[in-house]
Amino acid sequence: MPRDSTSDEPLLGHRNEPSGQQDSDTGFSITCEDLAPLTDPTNPTLPHQMGGIEKICQALKVDPKVGLRSDEADSSSVGHSDQPKFATRSKAFGRNILPAAKSATFFQLIKKAYNDRTLILLSVAAVVSLGVSVYEDYGPHHDPDEPRVGWVEGAAILAAVAAVVFTNAINDYQKERQFLKLSAKKDDRSVKLLRDGRDQEINIKEVQVGDILLMEPGDLLAVDGIILKSHNITCDESSATGESDAMKKDTEKKCYVISGSKVLDGSGSMLVTAVGTNSFFGKTMMAMREAQPEETPLQLKLDLLAESIAKLGMAAAIAMLVTLVAKYFVQAALSEDPFPPGADIFSSLIKIVIQAITIVVVAVPEGLPMAVTLALAYATTQMLKDNNLVRVLSACETMGNATTVCSDKTGTLTQNKMTVVEGTLSLLPFGSVDEGKNWKNDARPEIVDVLIEGIAVNSSAFEDKDEKGNLAFIGSKTESALMGFIKNLGASYSDIRADVNVVKMYPFSSAKKTMSCVVESPRGKEPYRLYVKGASEIVLRSCTHYIDSEGQAKALDENARARFDQIISQYADKALRTIALSYRDIPSSEYKKFNEEDAPNDKLVCLGIVGIQDPLRPGVVESVREFAKAGVSVRMITGDNIQTARAIAKDAGILVKGGLAMTGPEFRALSKEDQTEAVKRLQVLARSSPTDKTIVVRRLQELGEIVAVTGDGTNDGPALKMADVGFSMGITGTEVAKEASAIVLMDDNFSSILKALMWGRAVNDSVRKFLQFQLTVNITAVVLSFISAIASDDNQSVLSAVQLLWINLIMDTLAALALATEPPSPDMLKRFPTSKTAPLINFNMWKMILGQALFQIILNLALLKYGADLFHLQSEDGTKTPQDLLTLRTMIFNTFVFLQVFNELNCRRIDDTINVFKNVQHNKIFILVQVAVVAGQVLIVQFGGQAFKTTPLSAHQWLVTVLIGSLSLPVGLCLRLLPAKLIPEAVIHHAQEERQPLVSPARMRWEGASNQMMVQSHFFEAIRKKKGPVRGRGLEDDGSKSSIWKKAYGAAKTSLDNLKPS
């Protein structure tokens, strides 16, 4: 059995036995490690196993009736009057504060941003280029007519590197400060303690181990402890354990209280056993700070690409160097002139070396890091508007290729707020919260008044501000749901309670599962009225009448009971918690006979049944559907019971036919191989512990999945940290969850994750679009420079160094800005995620890159060879003047630039979509960049002169070059229409880049259908077997029919439970 799937080991490591010896340094005979098992939610140790509460209090030097004494410091630190209060106790057990997280300095962020292979490669190339060009500009062989601008290339590349590094560092710095600002609201509230024998209010940071903490409804507990006194204390531990049901606490078996939980009902006191970093909250919080982020799939692919480009660039440079050197010496040897002197040879070789270095500089895509940085910076800024606060920049692009979303249920998919979602009151049904509001208009007014009054007065819940300052009902979740229901009906519980006199109250009893109260009823048929609510089966058993749709009381006969049983069964099948509401008018004579202990729950009139559930958040169903279209599997991992989890998952569209729903202990008991096999079909994991969540994430990652985990509770922390992308809730999320996550959902909306997926895919697409454009430019420029330099008499490229600066740097930077700021479109959700192993440049991209580069190279070389004749740039006798050659080179330069301008439109789509102009009007930055490039080109051509080696062109020449440049668009169209089968595998690899689901939806449906057929077969077989014994009595009897179908259904259900997906 795998080590990480054990169910009996504690969540956080510690010892189970007290030391029994007094520590000479602290004076206490018990340590933090001894106390830790008391509040481990996965394996709690009962106080009696450690000698009882009295022995623990004795070891902690506290009297539970008095609390800690303020003068403890004086007795424990004689001679140190200046020592803080409880200094020895704090030294032994720690203070209730967490150490501040170590944040990176700006210099460290700069260093981290520069630690990138592409940036280092660029820096080396820039420094070499800078050194050589400075020598050329200021060396003895520099032409006085040439401007000294060679240094600009290297300096500009270094400036681009610096811009990328500082942009990344500033972005990281701002995100970190933004998150600190989000978390800066420190917990400075006070809590009630018993100290020196009296109740005191103490700042939460001053709570010590050994303190007696007083508990009241609404308290948010920031320490661990064990219950000393409990008067019906009920705690909500959903943020810590994921268990949505309220937990009843007592002084025997359920005595542990963990930090992060909230007191819903009751009162009492607890002994504090762990604070700060030793508490459940603190240990989880500190664990979140340990893991180091790994490189994202895009970063890994970019590193490999940078290495490949560097090798190819170096190979091209060496080839050019060898070719030009060989050509120089061959020409010198064959020339009739004397062999050149050493100084001339050295000067010529320096020029050849510069040409070779230029090839390397041109080959390196210096705009690539800028494109990635701009894409991420733009996406994170826009994502904040979509309520996604990105804490880890790389998580944005990682999310684009996520294949699985493992979501918590409580507070993530659901609202973490129990609500009346269905009901049948006065036999008038409603099927949603909104329909419940309309029920009031359909029912009789007097029945509405009775119902509202009964809910308002027969409850201990009340409305108050929660820890975040929002109005909410404080009390048990069931009572809060009912109070919320009457509030939606427009009633004020406080006004009703003020007007109605409650004469007897019978609190909720877990044994009887009911709550009752008696009120004076001056306007009723009798002077008193009894209101009863509770578990539907129990309350209905005590009812003799019910209220029909006309508001009349009718006898609850067998048919009526069967109808109510059917309603209860329908709600139970949907995993709704069913509550029956009833009342009875009581005469004075009967009221006088009531005792204080047992509620007179008999002869009741049933008002109806309501179904309570933690409802789905708005938009969850639609988001799950969109995730499925995008090839992303949504899995629910929750601490709730399997029935509720399965029902919620079905409502959300997560659990489909063929999918697997199981509990955490069942999953944990499997071997590692079986866990791996089960997780492929796993859609719901209920009753899960934090360990289960991390196991599921690990198994999915071992299968090559990119996993996003969402959650809001402390219990979600480890899985959030382990996941490739962790999402936490900004409103309801705990500090542990936020610390562990990479992205914070500011509106707590599950649907915002879908927007994050779209932006993640937009980032990946932006980088690929830029790569497609960049590599086309670079390949064309390198090959043109290489061929034209070899073919020319003076070894000079058709494009001058400064023209290459404009093409290679400015155009790259502006192209990065244009292509990296493309907003996401819904079309991105119509494709599956890209596989981790998929190449960064796919088949369609290579087709466009190589096709466009080949076209542009042939076109420019043809213009270089035949352009003078084509553009009539020669005299009548066929001779070409220097001005004619300069005009030709300018027209070639202009044509080259406009080929890139129009090709940039092609690069807006990296698939085979024909319409490259789709949604271009929505990207204003792209349009502005194109305008800026064209304006810059006009200025360079018309006014660049000697610096740019250009001459002004006529309107006719401008028109011709722009029209030739626009040929990129029809060429792109032809390449898109070119079938893949016409291009051999040896030329371009036809790799499948989409990541397919672990189990295809079609196979899942087939398995589900086959299982259903087997169940139906078992069902009808059960009917045939059960039908025989009752045949003699006849089937006219309804009870016989009901018995047959119930038994058959039970047999079929047993068969279904025994079936497992094949």
Q: What sign does the CA torsion over 86, 87, 90, 91 have? A: negative
Contact 839, 768 (CB under 8 A): no
State the Cα–Cα distance between residues 181 and 744, nearest whole angstrom: 13
Q: Among all residues, which ones are annotated catalytic? A: 408
Cβ-based burial of 55 (10 A; exposed 0-12, middle 13-18, buried ≥19):
middle
State the Cα–Cα distance between residues 438 and 422, nearest whole angstrom: 12
Q: What sign does the CA torsion over 76, 82, 88, 93 have? A: positive
Look up tokens 């800028």; give the residue.
370
Q: What is the dihedral of CA 309, 314, 316, 319, to 10 degrees?
A: -160
Phi and psi dihedrals of 932, rounded to 5? -65, -40
List beta partners, residue 230. 268
Radius of gyration of the chain (CA): 38
Q: Which of 762, 760, 719 is nearest to 740 (CA)?
A: 719
List beta partners, residue 63. 67
Neighbours of 71 (CB within 10 A): 10
CA–chain centroid gap for 1008, Å, is: 30
SS3 248: strand
State the Cα–Cα distance between residues 421 and 433, nearest whole angstrom: 5
State the Cα–Cα distance between residues 474 and 462, nearest whole angstrom: 5
Neighbours of 570 (CB within 10 A): 16
Q: Write out the DSSP string of 1048-1062.
A: HHHHHHHHHHH----
Work out the angle at residue 913's Cα, subtended by the Cα atoms of residues 911 and 919, and round it to the nearest 5 degrees.
105
SS3 1036: coil
Contact 680, 659 (CB under 8 A): no
Q: Which of 922, 773, 914 is nearest to 849 (CA)?
A: 773
Q: Write out the DSSP string of 297-332.
A: HHHHHHHHHHHHHHHHHHHHHHHHHHHHHHHHHHHH
Structure tokens at 660: 């697997």
CA–chain centroid gap for 634, Å, is: 12
Contact 583, 519 (CB under 8 A): no
Distances (CA, A) of 443 to 446, 552, 583, 891, 996: 9, 11, 17, 84, 53
Strands 604-613 and 543-547: parallel
Structure tokens at 531: 């209101």
Residues ≥6 apart with Cβ < 8 Å to 62: 68, 210, 211, 212, 271
Contact 532, 604 (CB under 8 A): yes
State the Cα–Cα distance between residues 1042 and 477, nearest whole angstrom: 35
Contact 825, 857 (CB under 8 A): no
Contact 611, 422 (CB under 8 A): yes
Structure tokens at 105: 């300095």
State the Cα–Cα distance between residues 423 and 432, nearest whole angstrom: 8
Neighbours of 730 (CB within 10 A): 21
Phi and psi dihedrals of 724, rounded to 5? -65, -35
Contact 407, 725 (CB under 8 A): no
